[in-house]
């Protein structure tokens, strides 16, 4: 897909990103309901629940860290950037919120105890987030020009080259909107535990 088309597609995905996960979630639920767990021993299931929970915690920690620097505009369905954020996690990767989202989804896929769910998560993130990232980079290049071009050259998209972050003032008031993510995670955790119990007891 040419750059211009990808930018337009990314604009569409960005505006509808709150609804796009729904089909994927339904597919994942169907997979969990109708497939046997990959591991059936109680010790293995407990390990997967704990390991997945830790990955989810890491993902939400990254999100909390990032929101305190980027502010509440990250939940807007319009591209907004009052300034170029280069501090905190944004000095390590250009898309820490998306990295946090991926870790959260990966944590749930580990807890799902079904190997097929992990590639589903990876495919979903490529389909949704790659065009969004292309669109955002196009927008930020138009708005901030050479400053953002230097930032592109210095900071990778997702995989940090260093773990030494640039320090700056943290804004905890921006975390108000994050409560919805935390509530969603809590609800999904309960759902995953219930599904795990039902799958082991009901499937032959």
pLDDT score recorded for residue 3: 61
- Evaluate whether residue 62 is within a structural domain: yes
The domain tally of the chain equals 1
- Evaluate whether residue 7 is within a structural domain: no
pLDDT score recorded for residue 34: 76
Query: What domain range is 99 assigned to?
Result: 42-72+82-128+144-202
pLDDT score recorded for residue 64: 92
- Evaluate whether residue 37 is within a structural domain: no
Cβ 95 vs Cβ 133: under 8 Å: yes
The tens digit of pLDDT for each residue in 134-170 reads 999 999 998 999 999 999 999 999 988 888 888 777 8
Give Cβ neighbours of residue 42 (< 8 Å, ≥ 6 apart).
none
What's the average pLDDT block by block, 10 residues per block, for the chain (204 residues)?
70 77 81 77 86 95 90 69 87 94 93 87 90 91 92 92 80 78 89 78 62
Cβ 73 vs Cβ 171: under 8 Å: no
In the chain, the percentage of residues whose pLDDT exceeds 90 is: 31
- Evaluate whether residue 31 is within a structural domain: no
- Evaluate whether residue 34 is within a structural domain: no
- Evaluate whether residue 121 is within a structural domain: yes
Helical segments of 16-116, H only: 21-34, 42-70, 96-111
pLDDT score recorded for residue 77: 64
pLDDT score recorded for residue 164: 82
pLDDT score recorded for residue 76: 65
- Evaluate whether residue 163 is within a structural domain: yes
- Evaluate whether residue 17 is within a structural domain: no
């Amino acid at each position: 897909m040419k750059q211009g088309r990808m930018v337009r597609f990314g604009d569409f995905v960005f505006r509808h990103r709150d609804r796009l996960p729904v089909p994927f979630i339904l597919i994942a639920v169907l997979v969990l309901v109708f497939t046997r767990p990959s591991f059936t021993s109680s010790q293995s299931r407990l390990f997967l629940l704990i390991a997945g929970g830790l990955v989810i915690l890491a993902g939400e920690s990254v999100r909390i860290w990032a929101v305190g620097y980027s502010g509440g505009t990250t939940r807007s369905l319009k591209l907004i950037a009052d300034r170029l954020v280069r501090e905190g996690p944004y000095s390590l990767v250009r898309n820490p919120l998306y990295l946090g989202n991926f870790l959260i989804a990966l944590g749930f896929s580990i807890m799902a105890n079904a190997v097929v769910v992990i590639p589903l998560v990876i495919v979903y993130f490529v389909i949704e987030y790659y065009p969004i990232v292309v669109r955002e980079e196009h927008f930020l290049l138009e708005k901030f020009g050479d400053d953002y071009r230097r930032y592109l050259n210095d900071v990778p998209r997702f995989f940090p080259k260093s773990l030494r972050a640039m320090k700056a003032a943290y804004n905890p008031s921006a975390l108000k909107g994050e409560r919805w993510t935390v509530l969603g995670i809590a609800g999904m955790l309960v759902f995953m535990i219930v599904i795990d119990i039902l799958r082991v007891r009901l499937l032959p």
